[in-house]
Chains A and B, each alone.
Chain A
Amino acid sequence: MDNKKIIIKMKPEVREKVIEICDSFGNNPGELINVLHQTQDFLGYLPAEVQELIAERLHMPTAKVYGVVSFYAFFTMTPKGKYPVSVCLGTACYVRGAEKILESFEKELGIKPGETDENGVFSLASLRCVGACGLAPVALVDGKVFGRLAPAMVKDIVKEYREME
């Protein structure tokens, strides 16, 4: 049986930054969610090894860190695409046909919500209310809001970003 310890390797700059974030919160386990927010801001996602490191720094079980990461919708363990697409499925958008917008994006990008395409260009997600209900239905592409969408417009939006590649 293998009695050796598990050593996880990590890029020095990532390790340094994560440690810096943990230190800035006094390595206090009560600050876990803030630490995760800042780490995700920095990396774009929260891979397993980073959660191990955070657990180590905050002196808490990795399982508990993962328990928190997997609980909250905002945290993700998969890297987002270069252009993350989020379709609002809030009620206002829903009653104005948001489901069809999401379907169109799925069709156009060939991925399901929560997935990133092979080249890492697009990722698709649904979210609940960006607060632009006046513009319903709404989608966000790389932080930009597209409002009053119709399924037919999706193709052009995707094309626009594809061409930027």
Chain B
Amino acid sequence: MDMIKLTIDNREVEVPKGTTILKAAQGMGIDIPTLCHFELNNLGVHNKPGGCRICVVEVAGRRNLAPACVTECMPDMVVRTNSMRVINARRTVLELILSDHPADCLQCAKNGNCELQDLAVRFGIRKNPFIGPEHEQSSYQLEVSPSIIRDMNKCVMCRRCETMCNDMQTVGALSAIERGFPAVVSTAFNQHLDHSPCTFCGQCVAVCPVGALTEVDHTGAVLRAIVDPKKTTVVQVAPAVRVAIGEEFGMEPGTIATGKLTAALKALGFDYVFDTDWSADLTIMEEGTELIGRLTKFLEGDKNVPLPILTSCCPAWVNFFEHQFPELRHLPSTAKSPQGMFGAIAKSYFAEKINCKREDMISVSVMPCLAKKYEVGRDELKVNGNPDVDYSISTRELARLIKMANIDFKSLPDAEFDSPLGESTGAAVIFGTTGGVIEAAVRTAYEIFTKKPLPKIDFEELRGLEGVRSATIDVDGLKLNIGIAHGLGNARKLLEDIKAGKSNFHAIEIMACPGGCIDGAGQPLHHGNADIIKARWEAIYRADREMPIRKSHENPSIQAIYKEYLGEPCGHKSHELLHTHYFDRQTTVEVDLNK
């Protein structure tokens, strides 16, 4: 590799050709501040508009200042990152950004977790010379959707959300609109997100450096339910939550905090603390059975059987195909998501068991996800208007609840999930990352289909963080072609292939968020640190290995519920409780016949 020598802040450094000044400086321990710049290299996310101009540096011989984030190092370049000229410019630019930003930090959902606020602290901004009686600020309407709150007055035009929504997810709900001073990233015609193709994946929220995009907060409602003596509260926790929540309490990324998490939920006062992993195992039973069913028909020569079967646990992904590929909506498994299955069982089987009326039970889910907030509102997941899950809160919201309740998370003694909806397997925990659902399904489908034990439990070929992966699994002679995509843009590639008749997969797993649920929009904010995601990913597989049972169909509690309540997987009762259907939600323009 070609190396380049240059000087930054009077120190010589050698970097490979193509390195930006920002990267070179970072390598030397020089922390040039940035705002719009955002990269997750291992997940293929790049947002480098060079727009905020916070990272400007002085390059000898150059007329104006250079943005460090996009300026490449050149041989013999002399760079100053902290001259008076640079500091003055940086500070003035920061003051400008702040002059068009509401100063309601104390009420802001991002208070304490805001990259702009951090910059203001770092530069000791006290009084803003550009704020006066005459200064104008953006005036957009605050908008609340089922999952996401948009306050475009806080938008700093970093374009991260636009990059996620378009380049990564190819959803296209967001775009930069208008120009000049009123320019922000918003929806078509500045409409409500409900009228857009938004999937509520929330990746925009996950990357927003400020409080322009935040999640809908249900912590208050959950607290009220907990303290309401007439209500029985049941909580479920998704697999990816346990490998991330520790970060909110200063624990190392990748810490598996299942025991403390369970203890904290109990300390919060939930009546029953259960595990979404349990219903993940249930999902495998249903989805795996569906896969075997379709495959068997296919092998018997039925060419009309819908293949490949697509996973359906990710609600943002469900929204995506309902909006963008409604013509393929016969392909995904009809199995509800683990959250949905859990809710249905909690308010039927379990409610009956503890003799609690449906209306008196408040079912709460803790999810790494914002689309789950949307999902709990779907009509198919309600009975007579009463939702199977009343509130879905994010990992971040749970952390806030824990802090609010004076619980010292780190020093909590580990606790166990309650029974019967708390027992789970290693197959369930890997739902938390890309490739996990399909691996779990293969573990079970293999044994059910071949009636032979698996020679090896770990399917390394299904793991990894590349956007699109494929593997062929030898199921006792049957070559099962499996596709995996995470990030909806990657999913689109596989779907286009299916549409074009070019796909030879039998089953495809799709997760909307890059990396899967570990990088869900409800997780602690990683602020662009890709190592955090990697650590969570490793933790998921570690958690799998640590489980005594690692195949869903071996979960005794799952076996029990089929025996005593559900009957057969994909049987009548299962269909009623655990399966759903999909809609065509693509916006279309049609001829008005009534003139």
Contact = CB atoms under 8 A, between A and B. Distances in A.
A52 to B, nearest CB: 5
Nearest to A66: B188
Nearest to A53: B589
A49 to B, nearest CB: 6
A11 interface: yes
Given A5-B585, A63-B188, A12 B175 contact: no
A119 interface: no
B172 A1 contact: no
B193 to A, nearest CB: 11
Interface in B160-189: 166, 171-179, 186-189
B586 A5 contact: yes
B377 interface: yes
Nearest to B590: A7
A3 B189 contact: no
Contacts of B166: 61, 64
A64 B176 CA distance: 8
A20 to B, nearest CB: 14
Nearest to A12: B591
Given A67-B175, A70-B179, A1 B590 contact: no
B85 interface: no
B590 A3 contact: no
Contacts of B587: 5-8, 52, 56, 62
Contacts of A11: 591-592, 595
A12 B592 contact: yes
B479 interface: no
A159 interface: no
A61 B173 contact: yes
B590 A9 contact: yes
A12 B589 CA distance: 10
A60 interface: yes
Interface string B570-586: 00000000000001111
Contact of B178 (A8, A52, A65, A71): A71
A13 to B, nearest CB: 10
Contacts of A7: 587-590
Nearest to B381: A1
Contacts of B178: 70-71
26 contacts: A1-B146, A3-B322, A3-B379, A3-B380, A5-B583, A5-B585, A5-B588, A7-B588, A7-B589, A7-B590, A10-B589, A11-B595, A15-B591, A49-B589, A52-B188, A52-B589, A56-B587, A61-B171, A61-B173, A61-B188, A62-B196, A63-B186, A63-B187, A67-B176, A67-B177, A71-B176
6 smallest CB-CB distances across A and B, nearest first, come from A61-B172, A67-B175, A9-B592, A63-B175, A62-B188, A66-B188
Given A5-B587, A63-B175, A65-B188, 13 more contacts: A1-B146, A4-B583, A8-B589, A9-B590, A11-B592, A15-B591, A53-B589, A61-B197, A62-B587, A63-B174, A67-B176, A70-B177, A71-B177
Interface of A: 1, 3-12, 15, 48-49, 51-53, 55-56, 60-67, 70-71
